[in-house]
């Protein structure tokens, strides 16, 4: 049982990358005993703050900082690309730095300011072996035995990418949860539907594991770009047009680089009225 009073006055930032939005809390300044119940309450867009993911910032002995991520349903997530970019941009501005190293469950990721108001993060090498994604059994990750012939990719979290003629025509609200909970994915999966607009341009829509439909997803963008390149549908450097805007992915020898805009929307604190209404069981 967690004492509610410890959360009163707890500061947080609201950020977004292409409409993929986050609550960010700094556990370096104040100890935060995050619970699934608190994360779910904060994610409620009517009674809480609203977010796709929540991120906690921690100190790290070997990197500039460390990050822990929660999905809107209160479950943990190993990585969140857009949140990583947002936090990296904020920290680099505060510190007057052009590069930053951030530890996530994905490992230590490198972030850079690009000089045009955008931020790049190296999300690491993609995982393409079935056991690393993970899948429930051995199979060709380029052609999963699921209707629609999707590709499986790991970016620290699992992804299932479908290439379709018209991503706009897909009923994402129905198809997304069906695939998220497919038995081939023991840890569930993020789901993407993408259309090829050209050799270096894709249109993508996203269903995020533990959250639902989102306007954008950084790790999903990386996964789709890798899947398209592995299938020979595009080059390794592509632009993806998501519901929230455009992001650029470049699959290089040293990892998958993701570049796009970030926004720090506002700072706020949790009120006693909100905290005292929480269910902390």
Tens of pLDDT, residue by residue over 220-253, are 999 999 999 999 999 999 999 999 999 999 999 9
- Please say if the pLDDT value at position 1 is more than 60: no
- Please say if the pLDDT value at position 202 is more than 70: yes
Domain 151-253 in this protein, CATH class: alpha beta
Q: Which of 15, 3, 7 is nearest to 53 (CA)?
A: 15
Asked whether 260 and 18 are in contact (CB, 8 A), the reply is: yes
Report the pLDDT averaged over residues 90-96: 96
pLDDT of residue 96: 96
In our burial notation (b when 16+ CB lie closer than 10 A, e otherwise), range 166-190 reads: ebeebebeebbbebbebebbeebbb
Report the pLDDT averaged over residues 159-188: 98
Tens of pLDDT, residue by residue over 134-171, are 999 999 999 999 999 999 999 999 999 999 999 999 99
- Please say if the pLDDT value at position 92 is more than 60: yes
Tens of pLDDT, residue by residue over 48-86, are 999 999 999 999 999 999 999 999 999 999 899 999 999
Token readout for 74 is 């209160």
Topology alike, domains 4-122+262-276 and 151-253: yes
Domain 4-122+262-276 in this protein, CATH class: alpha beta
When the pLDDT of each residue in the chain is averaged and rounded to a whole number, the result is: 95
Domain spans in the chain, listed from the N-terminal domain onward: 4-122+262-276, 151-253
Q: Which residues, including other chains, have CB under 8 Å from residue 91's CB and lie 6 or more apart? A: 64, 65, 97, 100
Q: Please, which pLDDT band fits residue 2 given cuts at 50, 70 and 90? A: low
HEC string for the chain:
CCCHHHHCCCEEEEEEECCEEEEEEECCCCCCCCCHHHHHHHHCCCCCCCCCEEEEEECCCCCCEEEEEEECCCCEECCCHHHHHHHHHHHHHHHCCCEEEEEECCEEEEEEECCCCCEEEECCCCECCCCCCCCCCCCCCCCCCCCCCCEEEECCCEEEEEECCCHHHCCHHHHHHHHHCCCCCCCCCEEEEEEEEECCEEEEEEEECCCEEECCCHHHHHHHHHHHHHCCCCCCEEEEEECCEEEEEEEECCEEEEEECCEEEEEEECCHHHHHCCCCC
Query: How do strand 190-198 and strand 158-163 relate by DSSP bridges?
Result: parallel
- Please say if the pLDDT value at position 30 is more than 70: yes
pLDDT of residue 281: 41
- Please say if the pLDDT value at position 280 is more than 80: no
Q: Please, which pLDDT band fits residue 5 given cuts at 50, 70 and 90? A: confident
Kindly report the pTM of this predicted structure.
0.94
What percent of the chain is predicted at pLDDT more than 90?
Answer: 93
pLDDT of residue 171: 97
Query: How do strand 53-58 and strand 20-26 relate by DSSP bridges?
Result: parallel
């Amino acid at each position: 049982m967690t004492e509610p009073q410890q959360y009163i006055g707890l500061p947080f930032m609201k950020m977004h990358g292409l409409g993929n939005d986050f609550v960010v809390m700094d556990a370096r300044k104040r100890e935060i005993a995050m619970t699934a119940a608190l994360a779910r309450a904060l994610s409620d867009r009517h009674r809480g703050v609203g977010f796709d993911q929540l991120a906690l910032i921690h100190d790290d002995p070997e990197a500039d900082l460390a990050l822990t991520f929660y999905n809107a349903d209160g479950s943990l997530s190993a990585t969140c690309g857009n949140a990583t970019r947002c936090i990296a941009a904020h920290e680099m501005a505060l510190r007057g730095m052009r590069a930053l190293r951030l530890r996530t469950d994905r490992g230590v990721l490198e972030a850079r300011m690009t000089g045009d108001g955008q931020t790049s993060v190296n999300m690491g090498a993609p995982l393409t072996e079935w056991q690393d994604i993970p899948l429930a059994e051995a199979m060709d990750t380029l052609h999963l035995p699921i209707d629609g012939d999707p590709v499986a990719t790991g970016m620290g979290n699992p992804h299932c990418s479908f290439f379709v003629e018209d991503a706009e025509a897909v009923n994402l609200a129905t198809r997304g949860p069906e695939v998220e909970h497919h038995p081939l994915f023991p840890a569930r999966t993020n789901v993407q539907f993408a259309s090829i607009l050209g050799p270096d341009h894709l249109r993508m829509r996203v269903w995020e594991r533990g959250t639902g439909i989102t306007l954008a997803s950084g790790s999903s963008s990386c996964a789709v770009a890798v899947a398209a390149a592995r299938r020979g549908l595009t080059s390794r450097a592509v632009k993806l047009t998501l519901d929230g805007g455009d992001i650029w992915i470049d699959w290089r020898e040293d990892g998958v680089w993701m570049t796009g805009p970030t926004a720090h929307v506002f700072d706020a604190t949790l009120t006693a009225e909100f905290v005292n209404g929480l269910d902390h069981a």
